[in-house]
Amino acid sequence: MKLKTGNVGLWVLAWPIFIEIFLQTLLGTVDTIMVSRISDDAVAVVGISNQLFGALTTLFTTFAGGAGILIAQRLGSGRQEDARIIAIMGVTASTVLGLLVSIIMFLFADPVGGALNISGELIPLAHVYLTYVGGGLFLIGLTASLGSAIRNTGNTRGPMYTGVAVNVIHIVLNYIFIFGMFGLPQMGLGGIAISNVISRGLGAIVLLMMFCGAFERRIRLRDFATFKRKLFGEIVKISWPLGLNSSAWVVSQLAIYSFLAMLGAKELAARTYLNTLESFCFTLGYAVAMAGQIRIATLFGARQLSEVYRSAYRTLYIGLAIVSANVVLLFAFGKTLLGMFTVDGEIVSIGVALLALNLLLQPCKMLNMAMGNALNAIGDTRYTMTISLISMTLIGIGGSYLLGISWGWGLVGIYCCMIADEAARGLLVLRRWRGRKVLYAAESQDGGQQAVQCKAAEASF
């Protein structure tokens, strides 16, 4: 399917992405609620483990993200076959990386748990969750890369429908395995792991079938051995800065959760609960940012440069309005919502104390996401990588340790540094976009090519 840039609006692309991400967030929330019926210790294990899994997933799906940008650009310029080949190589590379990560997690779960500063009494629980959910991470990488390729063809509904099915299956299996329905033993945290792998595996099969028919020429199994050096080089060129950016985020998130583990299980559980609620706040804004990236990349491929520039601001304004409204609602009802997860008054109090800071955190994240995605969509990935490496290292990690641990500010100090990091990166990418450096270069290049073509035409007469 070729994306018709003039006819596809931001919301048409965004709402299926929103539904898909919302349901993924719901899946995590259901996990958290069900695990909270086991114990708050189990919640702490799931929280820090899922943070690691999310970071690793981002890391090995980076290749698919870079491929997705190029897919949209190629479709915008009408080069369907190039888009097809790029999609195949992106999925293959992401899957191979995912398998490597899964093997490491399955074989070395205990050392990984120790590296995350998980306390001794939580290690047995962590072993189960890290081994089996971690061992299935390649399924997350596969579904993420397939979904990214499909969405960048303009088909955002297919991954959404698959997400609905995966969530329903996951919730049902959770209930059966955790609480021992239909004569099965009560598996506790192990049940969550089994449910996770089964539901994601089924989702990967459906997306693979959808991916094979996503382009004008059907993709067959033997096509996954396709390798085109020039196109692969383009993927690497746009992806490696995204990879380092993701690596910086991986390190910063692991460091921050390691600091939280040093503060104690209650602080870790509080952050896990609040992170779940924050995810609901940001879901629609994130969907808008992702849809904006697809639209901008396609417009850039079609060389509609004026519309490219305006589209980024449209994405930002819509996203900020949505996120700001959601975060105000969370501030108003956060205490009640936290009470749905735990009856521990101390954990609820810790979470409530962070709700006011969240009023600043989420809009800053939206600014960074919208404008950063816009820069990535036009290939300016090195700039976003550079500022991320600097900001996350100095402010995200260094500042969090200084304020949260050394100065004893705890979670409040860590949140302040998270806000400062997002704000710094957001303002810098906004400044870069306003400078139009890449857009001016593209315009100049197009003008030069047109001049060469005119001279060639004149010489032929």
Structure tokens at 360: 């600043």
Contact 242, 100 (CB under 8 A): no
Structure tokens at 425: 């990166």
Give residues with Cβ within 8 angstroms of 285, minimum separation 6: 319, 320, 322, 323, 326, 362, 365, 366, 369
Check: CB of residue 49 under 8 Å from CB of residue 61. no
> How far is residue 287's CA from residue 15's CA, in Å, rounded to a whole number?
7
Which residues in the chain show pLDDT less than 50? 1-7, 450-461
Per DSSP, the residues of 138-161 read: HHHHHHHHHHHHHHTTT--HHHHH
Comparing C-alpha atoms, which of 427, 239, 415 is closest to residue 316? 427
Q: Would you list the DSSP string of 268-305? A: HHHHHHHHHHHHHHHHHHHHHHHHHHHHHHHHHHTT-H
State residue 1's pLDDT score. 42
Sequence-ordered list of residues with C-beta below 8 angstroms from that of 295, at least 6 positions apart, any chain: 5, 8, 10, 13, 311, 315
Which residue, among 368, 387, 249, 391, has the nearest Cα to 315 in the 3D structure? Answer: 368
Residue 66's Cα: distance from chain center in Å? 13
Q: Which 3 state secondary structure label does DSSP give 413?
A: helix
Q: How many CA atoms lie within 13 A of 67 on its CB side?
A: 28
The dihedral built from the CA positions of residue 257, 258, 263 and 265, taken in this order, carries a sign that is positive
pTM for the model: 0.76
Q: Is 101 left (phi over 0), alpha (psi -120 to 50) or beta?
A: alpha
pLDDT at position 424: 96
Place of tokens 């085109």: 228
Sign of CA dihedral 336, 337, 340, 343: negative
Nearest to 31 by CA among 174, 217, 182, 215: 174
Q: How far apart are the C-alpha atoms of 32 and 44, rounded to whole Å?
A: 10
What are the phi and psi torsion angles at 340 (to 5°)?
-70, -25
Question: Distance between CA atoms of 151 and 149, rounded to whole angstroms?
Answer: 6
What is the distance between the alpha carbons of residues 422 and 148, in angstroms, rounded to a whole number?
Answer: 24
* Contact criterion met (CB below 8 Å) for 44 and 349: no
pLDDT per residue as tens digits for the range 372-412: 999 999 989 999 999 999 999 999 999 999 998 889 888 88
Distance between CA atoms of 46 and 409, rounded to whole angstroms?
A: 25
* Structure-block tokens of residue 231: 């196109």
